[in-house]
Amino acid sequence: MPKVEAPVEKWRGRVQEVRLGGDGRKQVTVGGESTLPFLHFDGEIPHRPVIAAEVLDMPPADWAENVVSAWGDALKSPAAWAKKAAQLGADLIFLRLASAHPEQGNTSGAQAAKTVSQVMEATDLPLIVVGPDVAEKDNEVIVAVAEAARGQRLALGTVTDKNYRTIVATAMAGGHAVVAQAPMDMNLSKQLNILCCDVGLPKDSLVMDPTTGALGYGMEYALSVFERLRLAALQGDAMTAMPILCHAGYESWRQKEAKAVEGVPVSWGDQKVRSLLWEQMTALTLLQSGAEIMVLRHPRSMDVVRGVIDRLMARQGPVS
Amino acid sequence: MALTAIEIYKYLPKTNCKDCGFPTCLAFAMKLAQKGAELSACKHVSEEAKSALEAASRPPIRLVTIGKDGRKVEVGNEVAMFRHEKTFYHQPGLLLRVKDSAAPDKVAQEMAAVASYKVERVGMQLSWNGLAIQNDGGDKAAFLAAVKLAQAHPELALVLMSDDPDTMAAALGDPAVAGRLPLIYAATEANWQKMAALAKQHKCPLAVRAGGLDALATLTEQVAAAGIEDIVVDPGARDFGDSLNALTQIRRLALKKSFRPLGYPVITFPGEKASSQEEEVLLATQHIARYAGVIVLDHFSPAMAYPLLTERLNIYTDPQKPLQMQAGVYPFGKPDPASPLLVTTNFSLTYFSVSSEIESSGFPTWLMVVDTEGQSVLTSWASGKFDAEKISKAAKNFKVEEKIGHRSLVIPGAVAVLRGELEGEFPEWKIMVGPREAVGIGPFLKQNWAR
Ligand code: B12
Ligand code: SF4
C-alpha cells in the first residue's frame, strides 16, 4: 500500500463547453473541464486552452517596436495579419475593429463587414470580433459583422451590463457566441451571464472576460477573480461556469515595463527580453488560474506559451 | 493547525485546581484556543500531554530559515491553497545556481551580479536572495574553492549542493560557512544518515530529495526521527506538469490532511528541463504562484530578475489590503508656489508610477495624493472614491491654496470626465487634463511649464 494517499478533489460541476467556428471553417471547442487548470489527477480536461492572436483592422499606432517588427508588413492589412497568425500557429483570431472608434476613423458597419469577410477569406481559423469599446459604435459594427458571417459561429463583443441587448440578440440571430466583460469582480461576471441568458442566449454561446490586469498592474486581482469563478463553477454554479478569455497581450504591452527602451533603470534589463517575459508571465499565471482563451500579441509569446501548454497538458503519471 | 478548545481540554488534567488563574480546565482550554494564554501557566500537564499538544498545534507547513541575516530566506508556514482565502505569507527565495565546474572568474562574476542587483518597485527595494553552489564534477577541491568565492558575499543566502557527505563536511568545516546557516542539499536514500548528522552538528536546515511522494515521506520521517526539524523537500519533479502536480499534492497533504511527513517547504529547479531561458523563467513563475519555497534558477539577468521579483510581489501581497500611501501634498524637487500641481490617488502602484515620472522629468512639482482607500485612478473613480467632492475636500484639508500661488490643477487623463464637475467645485480654478499614462507626464510638464 502506498504510504501517501494523494488527495483528490472530486468536483460536482464542470466548465461549460463553447464551440467556435464551423461551417467549412476550423472548429475550436473550449471548456468542459471538471478540474482546476492542468490538475489532471482530479478530473478531465477535454480541451486544451487556446491561443488567440490579437489583430487590428488598422496598423497599430502605439505598439512597441519589437512587436511591430515581428509582424512586419502583415500589420498593414488585417487579412494578411490574420493569415500570418494562422501560419504561426494561432488557434483563433481576435479581431479588434479599432478603426470604428469615433477618434480613430469612425469607420462604418459596412466597412467592418468587409474587413471581417476579407479576414475569413484569408484564414479558416475561428474568429472573435470586438468593436472599439464605444457602445453605439460596437452595436453598429457588430450587427453588420454578425450578418456578414452568418453561420460561421464567431464570438462577438464586447458585451457589458450597459450594452448587452443588441449584441446578444444579434449573436442569437446569426448563430454566434458572445464575449461578456465585467470589471474585475466575480459577482459582476455572474450577473452579466445571467442577464445574457435571461434574454435567451444559450449557455454554450457565452465566453466571460472578467478583465485582465498585467503583471505588476493588477494581475493578482485578476488571478483571484479567475480562481474564484472557476471554483464556483466546479462547485456546481452553472452561471459562473463559462470559459474565460484573458487579454494578457493587450494589458502587458501597454505597460511601461514592456514598452520602454530608454529612460528606465538599468536594473530593468534588456527591453526585448523583459517585454516578452512580461506578456508570457502574465499569460502563464492566468492560464493556471483558469483562462481558456489567451489573447496574445507577440508571435514569439504565442510560440512559447503554446509550448508550455503542451507540457502542462501532457498527462503526468501519479507522483506517488 | 489551530486546535479547538475541546481538543486542548482532552490533554489537561481536568482537576479544576485553578492554579492557572482560570476557574476550570475548560476555561483555560478556551483561552488557549484563542491564543490568550500560554500552556506553561498550568504546572500540572504531563510532559507527554505537553509534547502532544505542541505537536498538534505546530503549523502544518514548517517555517524554515535559510541563512542568518541579510537576505535570509524564511519559508513555509503557509495556510491557504488560494491567495483569496487568506494570504500567501512567506515569499519563496529566488537563488542562482553556480556550478563548481565552471571557470572561477565566471563564477565570481555571476555571484557579484546577483549580490549587487537591486531594483525598486512601489517604493520597495527588491533583490535576489542568494546562491546555490553545485558540486558538479564531484571534485572536492573545486567545490571548496567555489564556496570560498561566495564568502565575498556574506549577506546572500546559500544552498550547498553535493550528494557526497565528505565534500559537504569539508565545506561546512569552515566555521564562516557553517555560520551562515546554509541549506544542505541533499539527503537521499543513500546518504541521509551522514547528511542528517552534518545538519545536526552545524544546526543547518537540510533538504531531502527522493523521487516521488512515497519515497520522500519515508525519508523525511527518518530524517526527522534523527532529530532534524528544519527540512526542505525536493520531490524530484522537474517539468511543468509533474511539478504542478507534485507541489499541489504536497500543499494539499499538508494543509488538508495535516500530513506531517510532507509539511515542509519545497525546493525547485526550473532550469533543469527548460528548453529555453523563457521556459525556465515561466516555470519559475509557476513555482512562485504554485507553492514553491526555494526556487533555484540556472540563469540570471536583470531582464528576467525584475519580472520575477514583480511576480513574487504580486502573488504575496495581502489580497484584502492594497499597498497604499499616506494622503497629502508631496513636494518634488523643491517646488515653489508657482510650480505645477498634480492630483492622484493613494494606491501605492499609482503613486509610484506617477512620482517616478515626475522625478525623472526634473520639474519641481507638487503632487496631491487623495485618500482613495488604496485604489487606482479608474477603480476609485468607478467606485465613487475619487470624484470632484473628494478632491476638493482633500485640497481644503491639505490647505493647498496656502502653498500654491497659481490656480491650476492637473488631473489624470483617465478621468478627463471629472473636469466639468471639478470646475463646479473649484470655480476660480483652471482644471487641466493631463496625459492618460504617467509616462506622458514629463513631456506634458515641459510643454506647459517651460519658461
Ligand atoms: C486591479 C483592478 C481592480 C482591483 C483594485 C486595485 C486597486 N487597488 O485599485 C479590484 C479588483 C479591487 C477592482 C475593483 C473594482 N474595479 Co477595477 N480594475 C482593476 C484593473 C485591472 C487595474 C487597475 C490598476 O491597478 N491600474 C494600474 C494603476 C497604476 O493605474 P492608474 O491608477 O490608472 O494610474 C495610471 C494612470 O492613470 C496615470 N496616472 C495616475 N495618476 C495620475 C495623475 C496625473 C496628473 C496624470 C497626468 C496621470 C496619472 O499613471 C498611471 C500609470 O500610467 C483595471 C482594468 C485594467 N486592466 O486596467 C480595472 C478597472 C479600473 N476597474 C473597474 C471597475 C468598474 C471596478 C469596480 C467599480 C467594479 C465593481 N463594481 O465592483 C470595483 C471598485 C472597487 C470597489 N467595489 O470599491 C473599471 C473602471 C471602468 C471605468 N473606465 O470607469 C476598470 C477599468 C475595468 C474595466 N475595464 O471595466 N479593480
Ligand atoms: S492549572 Fe491546569 S489543572 Fe489547574 S485548572 Fe488550570 S488547567 Fe486545570
Under the banding of pLDDT at 50, 70 and 90, the label for residue A316 is low
For residue A5, which residues of chain B lie inside 8 Å, CB to CB? 257
Residues 262-281 of B with CB under 8 A from A: 262, 275-276, 278-279, 281
* Confidence check: pLDDT of A317 > 60: no
Average pLDDT of every residue of chain B:
94
* Distance from residue A275's CA to the centre of ligand 2 (Å): 63
**pLDDT value at residue A2:** 60
pLDDT in tens, B119-137: 999 989 999 999 999 999 8
Query: Considering CB atoms only, which of A38, A273, A289 is closest to B304?
Result: A273
**A320 pLDDT higher than 80:** no
Residue in B242, B237, B240 with CA at minimum distance from that of residue B267: B237
Nearest-by-CA chain B residue for A183: B379
Q: Among A3-12, A264-273, B280-289, where is mean pLDDT lowest?
A: A3-12
Query: For B226-243, what is each residue's pLDDT tens digit?
Result: 999 999 999 999 999 999
A99-157 pLDDT per residue, tens = 999 999 999 999 999 999 999 999 999 999 999 999 999 999 999 999 999 999 999 98
Residue B195 reports pLDDT greater than 90: yes
Residue A1 pLDDT exceeds 50? no
Q: Are A104 and A98 in contact (CB under 8 A)?
A: yes
**Which pLDDT does position B36 carry in this prediction?**
81
Indicate the class that CATH gives domain B5-57: mainly alpha
The answer for B185, left when phi > 0, alpha when psi is -120 to 50, beta otherwise, is beta
Q: Quote the pLDDT of residue B35.
A: 76
Domain boundaries, chain B: 5-57, 64-315, 328-448
Please tell me the predicted confidence (pLDDT) of residue A24.
Answer: 84
List pLDDT tens digits, range A79-102.
999 999 999 999 999 999 999 999
Ligand 1 neighbours, Cβ below 6 Å, are A 183-185, 188, 211-213, 217-218, 221, 251; B 322, 342, 344-345, 347, 349-350, 353-354, 374-379, 381-383, 410-414, 434-435, 437-438, 441
Instruction: At B124, list the grid cell.
Output: 520597495
Q: What CA–CA distance (Å, rounded) separates B304 from B320? A: 28
Query: Which atom of ligand 2 lies at the shortest distance from residue B15's CA?
Result: 3
Residues 304-333 of B with CB under 8 A from A: 304-308, 310-311, 313-315, 317, 319
Q: Which of B211, B89, B205, B104 is nearest to B158 (CA)?
A: B205
- B79 forms beta bridges with none
Residue A270: closest CA among B301, B299, B360? B301
CB contact under 8 A, B245 and A316: yes
Distance, in Å, from the CA atom of B170 to the CA atom of B441, rounded to the nearest integer, reads: 58
Cell output for A42: 482530479
Contacts with B, A 222-261, CB within 8 Å? 223-224, 227-228, 231, 254, 256-257, 260
Q: Which pLDDT value is given to residue A64?
A: 96
Q: What is the DSSP string of A38-95?
A: T-TTTS---S--EEEEEEESS--SS--HHHHHHHGGGGG-HHHHHHHHHHTT-SEEEE
* pLDDT tens sequence across B7-63: 889 999 999 999 999 999 999 999 988 878 888 899 999 988 888 887 777 889 999
Q: What is the pLDDT of residues B252-309, one digit of tens each?
A: 999 998 899 999 999 999 999 999 999 999 999 999 999 999 999 999 999 999 999 9
Q: Average per-residue pLDDT in chain A?
A: 95
Among protein residues, the one with the nearest Cα to ligand 1's atom 69 is: A183
Residues sharing a CB contact under 8 Å with residue B76, sequence separation 6 or more, in sequence order: B59, B61, B62, B63, B64, B90, B264, B265, B293
pLDDT digits (tens, 9 = 90+) for B346-368: 999 999 999 999 998 999 999 99
- Neighbour count for residue A32 (Cβ, 10 Å): 16
Percentage of chain B exceeding pLDDT 90: 84
pLDDT at B328 > cutoff 90: yes
- Interatomic CA distance for residues B315 and B293, integer angstroms: 13
Architecture of domain B328-448: 3-Layer(aba) Sandwich (3.40)
Please give the average per-residue pLDDT across B395-419, as a whole number.
93
Q: Read off the DSSP letter of residue A317.
A: P
User: What is the pLDDT averaged over residues A297-304?
Assistant: 98
User: Measured in angstroms, how far is the CA atom of residue B351 from the centroid of ligand 1?
Assistant: 13
Average pLDDT over residues A201-217: 97
Domain B64-315 has CATH 3.10.180.10: no
pLDDT tens per residue, range A234-255:
999 999 999 999 999 999 999 9
Inter-axis angle of helices A299-313 and B240-256, to 10 degrees? Answer: 60
Note whether B38 and B20 are within 8 A (CB).
no
pLDDT tops 90 at residue B213: yes
CATH number, domain A18-314: 3.20.20.20
**Which band of pLDDT confidence, cut at 50, 70 and 90, is reported for residue A202?**
very high
